Structure 1
Amino acid sequence: MLEVRNLCKHYGGVKAVDGASFTVEKGSITALIGPNGAGKTTAFNCISRTATPSGGEVWLDGERIDNLRPHKITAKGLSRTFQISRNLSDMTVIENVIVQSKVHGFGGLFRPAMSRDEKDKAMSILDFLGITRIAFEDGHNLSYGQKKLMDLAALLMSDPKVILLDEPAGGVNPSLMEEIVDRIRALNEKGMTVLIVEHNMDLIMRLSHKVVVMAQGRVICTGTPDIVRKDAQVLDAYLGGVLEEEEA
């Protein structure tokens, strides 16, 4: 469903992403992990075209997309969240969700700001995520975790084929984190393809079908969670201390 080929992003002499290649299979949950500065979020930015790659290619469902603008990539079926919520704080939750609706071209100028179909669809997504109770709350009144769920709802409004989640559980309390995990798993069971960046290793190992490990801008290991846990390069670069502590 998603293929990254020799992706590069350089800032002067700094190679934030340095020839990274990996695939995300249709219907899978794939995790992209690595230590701070490994290039994970930069890779996300290049895939979604919020940053311009210095080299390499990105293919979505057999079509090259790294030369497209971000809104065109979204229209092709790839949407993402960000580490820090980018909600419009002076708008309600349902308005923040509806603003992510598919563009209807010139004819959209003559449509209501929020059509009945869009309202119904947004409420259905909020119900799926268990947050209909905050549908009419202003964005600035939400907790950090609620903002994360609103971002996920807004992402789903565009009917994506692949979703990129950048630390969806970061900074969220444990009970709400489990709700987010359950919703991601439920989306995947409905056929959604997921690529996720997350520092919570317990969450990643429980949730993912495949793990891609980056270090210093490069992919150093790819495999199932069990394979990655035992890989010598991964243990040395990132997971060693964490796993030793867990096993102890």
Structure 2
Amino acid sequence: MLEVRALAKHFGGIKAVDNCSFTAEAGKITALIGPNGAGKTTAFNCISRTMAPTAGEILLDGERIDHLKPHQVTRRGLSRTFQITRNLEDLTVLENLVVQSKVHGWRALFEPAITKEELKKAEEILAFLNITRLAYEETRNLSYGQKKLMDFGALLMSDPKIILLDEPAGGVNPSLLAEIVEHIRALNGQGLTVLIVEHNMELVMSLSDKVVVMAHGEIIAEGPPAMVQTDPKVLEAYLGGTNVEPAHA
């Protein structure tokens, strides 16, 4: 579904991402992990084209998207969330979902602000996330966790083939996190491909089909969770030192 080839993003002499290559298989959940400053979010920004890469290729379903604008990437079927929730506080939850729906060009200028199709779809997504009660609540009144759920719902409005989730567990209480995990599993069960950046290792290891590990802007390991969590290079990247022994079952 997604292939990243020799991706690089440099800020002057700083190589935030350097020669980074990995894949996310269709219908699977792939986790991108690494210590703080590893380059994970920068890689996400380049993949979603909210940031232009310095070099490399990004392919979605075999077609390059690294030259496209962010809204064009979304049209191709890739949507993402951000570490910090992004929303329009003066709009209701339902309206925040609708503004994320696909844009149909100049013809949309002659349509109602919210079409029947968009309303129906937004209501279905809110029902799926169990937040129908919040549909007409102004976003400014939501808790942080509720905003996270709204962001999650908003990215589904564009009919994505793959979703990129940037730290969905960050700042979320355990009860709400359990709900989010179930939603991810349910969507993946319907065939949606998921790429996730997350620091919660328990979540990563229980949820992912494959784990990709970054350190200092480079990929240092890739494979099933059980293999990655015992890789000496991964343990060294997280724990430091040169005498780190791999964990034993």
**Which category of TM-score, normalised to the shorter sequence, fits these structures?**
over 0.9
Equivalent residue, structure 1, for 2:203: 203
Written as runs of structure 1 = structure 2, the 5 A alignment for 1:183-198 is 183-198=183-198
Please name the residue that 1:35 is paired with: 35
Distance 1:95 1:209 in 2: 34
Which AA in structure 2 matches 1:182? Answer: E
Q: Write the distance in 1 (CA, Å) between the matches of 2:68 and 2:132.
A: 35
Aligned counterparts of 2:160 and 2:135: Cα–Cα separation in 1:
22
CA deviation map 1:62-84 (0-9, x unaligned): 10000000000000000000000
- Give every structure 1 segment of 4 or more consecutive aligned residues whose post-TM-superposition deviation is greater than 4 Å: none
Counterparts of 1:54-203 in structure 2, within 5 Å, are 54-203=54-203
Normalization by structure 2: what TM-score?
A: 0.96
Q: What is the deviation of 1:95?
A: 0.1
- Whichever residue aligns with residue 214 of structure 1, its letter is M
- Aligned counterparts of 1:199 and 1:147: Cα–Cα separation in 2: 20
Amino acid at match of 2:110: F
The structural deviation recorded for 1:239 is 6.0
Mapped partners of 1:57, 1:24: distance in 2: 14
Please give the root-mean-square deviation of Cα atoms over the aligned residues, in Å. 1.7
- Is 2:49 aligned against 1:49? yes
Q: Deviations over 1:190-229 (max 9, x none)?
A: 0000000010000000100000000000000000000001
**Residue ranges of structure 2 left out of the alignment (5+ in a row):** none
What code does the residue aligned with 1:79 have? S
Q: Greater helix share, 1 or 2?
A: 1
Report if the CA contact (8 A) 1:7-1:19 is conserved.
yes
Is the contact between residue 229 and residue 239 of structure 1 (CA under 8 Å) also seen in structure 2?
no
Letter in 2 for 1:137: E
C-alpha separation in 1, matches of 2:65 and 2:42: 16
Aligned residues: 245
Report the more deviating stretch, 111-120 or 40-49.
111-120
Normalising by structure 1, we get a TM-score of 0.96
